[in-house]
Structure 1
């Protein structure tokens, strides 16, 4: 037993520990928010899904929505750190344990593997498990945000960079001091060189997604009508210099080209589909690291309030489309657009007006900072309603065992 009281310790948006009870409650709340289908398909007829990056952000939302709404069974893959004597496990470790428990209670056969999704060893492990337990794969959701990737063929490790392309980018960003007071400041980011662009594409583009599909196809595991979606983001013109027009944008463009290649290939192979799913803004562990995104998201919440569409609601819509409850709708680039609520002219004009007016003195009137700060803390299991943070909690939680 390793019970103790856990208090939040952080450096900016990065917290050093996670709260197991808070992470569990958060996953439970996500599950309860999903509207289950009136007549779910269970048992051997339930769709078999693989979610790569299943423990956080939109990947977690895909896993929870898939289990609670689409009745999926299958495999989730993530890379999390176990608890030690000195530190708690990562938040994703506890979220995975909570998701597995809910899946078991609902009668869903869901296996969770912890390791490097970029490696061929993990691809073999997943393929073996799918072959042994299910015999086929109906859907693959790819949601990996990593700072680096080692190519399993060459052994070369690539590192991603958050930089603009072509010129220095100057953007406003939001930070908080040690007392939690907000500060709006301008930051400058020098442009990436060609090697940094190429490395970012190698990490965050479509190469590994394509390797997963090829690996599973080579094992004869793709079901007739198999579909796969890689989760992506376009975002606002306000953040375009550092995001969509920067190194990350180059990687996203590569992801979209990969989708079109895979879509044609899967159509011939198994009558399948491959798409990118463009999701709306959300507070995630990866998005808070991008200059300007925190400010933008806080202002967006200030404009929309509760009309922001949560990740789990967006992924419920994606599952409906992938499983045929509603037609699969794509734009002219072959992308499923789950971000239209964010990018209307009315919303973007209102956010742009607040962006121009945002200063350290005015930000509390323009952005929903209480919501933003709470959302960041909830990424690590803190500030979750209904959790007693004065009580000691067991930190030595086991990784879910395969049944």
Structure 2
């Protein structure tokens, strides 16, 4: 037994430990928020899905919504750290909780912990599809955010960066001091130099997504009508220089080009589809690292209130479209758009007005800071209602075991 009291120590938006019970309750809350599925294909006839990046952010939402709404069976892939001197990563505990919920609801869903960029993990997943899930995959959801990627063919490791393209960019950003008081700072980020953009595209673009399709297709593991979707983001003009027009945006543009190429290929080979899904803003472990995003999301919440659509609700809509419960809702570039609630002119004008007025002295009245800080803490299992954080908890939670 390794019970102990887990405290919420942090460095900025990064917490040093994660709370296993809080993570479990947070995942259960996501599951409970998904509308009842109604008639669905049960048991061995349920669609087989692979979610790459299944333990955090939109990938976690895709996993939970797929299980709770679409009744999927299949495989989730993520790369998480086991408990040791510190607790496990939050994604480790969220995966354990998701596995418990899947089992309790009769879903056959297993989890692989490893580097999704590697051929070894691709082969492990291929083996599971072949041996456990009748050799055919119906859906693949790709949701990977990573700082680096090693190309299995060349052994070269690429690193992604968050930089504007062309010239330095100054933006407002939200930080909190050691006492938790909010502060608005202006930060400047230098432009991408050398091969920064190419490196970021190599990590966060569509190369690995295409490699997954290559690997599975070569082994004849794609079902007729197979669909795959990569999760993406466009965002506001307020954050555009650091995001959509920056190095990450170049990677997202590559992801969309990859979708078009894969769509043509899959249509010919299995009568399938490849799409990107443009999701709306959310507080995630990845997004809080981007300058300006924390401020933007806090202001957006203050404008929309409960009209802000959480990730699991967005991914529920996506699964309805992927499984034919609802028609595909595509924009002129063939992308699923789940972000229209965020990018309407009225909403963006209201957020922009608050952005211009935001200072350290005014921010408390302009942004929903209580909501934002709660969201950040809940990423690590803290500030979850109903959890006794003064009580010791078991931190040595095992990774879900594959059972027959």
TM bucket (normalised to shorter chain) is: over 0.9
What secondary structure, in the 3-state scheme, does the structure 1 residue paired with 2:158 have? strand
TM-score normalised by L of structure 2: 0.99
After superposition, give the CA deviation of every residue in 1:289-328 in whole Å (9 maximum; x if it has no partner). Answer: 0000000000000000111000000000000000011111
CA distance in structure 2 between the partners assigned to 1:305 and 1:329 by the alignment: 25
Q: Which residue of 2 aligns with 1:32?
A: 32
Q: Which residue of 1 aligns with 2:112?
A: 113
Per-residue deviation at 1:334? 1.3
What secondary structure, in the 3-state scheme, does the structure 2 residue paired with 1:342 have? helix
Q: Which residue of 1 aligns with 2:99?
A: 100
Q: Which residue of 1 aligns with 2:219?
A: 219
Q: Which residue of 1 aligns with 2:121?
A: 122
CA distance in structure 1 between the partners assigned to 2:144 and 2:333 by the alignment: 21
Per-residue deviation at 1:194? 3.9
What secondary structure, in the 3-state scheme, does the structure 1 residue paired with 2:30 have? helix
Q: Which residue of 2 aligns with 1:244?
A: 244
Per-residue deviation at 1:83? 0.2
**Count of aligned residue pairs for this structure pair:** 402
Q: 1:36 touches 1:70 (CA, 8 Å); kept in 2?
A: no
**Within 5 A, what are the aligned runs for 1:4-403?**
4-84=4-84, 86-134=85-133, 135-403=135-403
What secondary structure, in the 3-state scheme, does the structure 1 residue paired with 2:140 have? strand
Per-residue deviation at 1:369? 0.1
CA distance in structure 2 between the partners assigned to 1:204 and 1:71 by the alignment: 29
CA distance in structure 1 between the partners assigned to 2:372 and 2:266 by the alignment: 40
After superposition, give the CA deviation of every residue in 1:69-126 in whole Å (9 maximum; x if it has no partner). Answer: 0000000000000001x20000000000000000000000001000000000000000
CA distance in structure 2 between the partners assigned to 1:375 and 1:143 by the alignment: 20
Q: 1:205 touches 1:251 (CA, 8 Å); kept in 2?
A: yes
CA distance in structure 2 between the partners assigned to 1:226 and 1:328 by the alignment: 15
After superposition, give the CA deviation of every residue in 1:29-70 in whole Å (9 maximum; x if it has no partner). Answer: 000000022112111110000000000000000000000000
Q: 1:171 touches 1:187 (CA, 8 Å); kept in 2?
A: yes
Gaps of 5+ in 1: none
After superposition, give the CA deviation of every residue in 1:194-252 in whole Å (9 maximum; x if it has no partner). Answer: 40000000000000000001100001000000000000000000000010000000000
Per-residue deviation at 1:6? 0.7
Cα RMSD (Å): 0.5
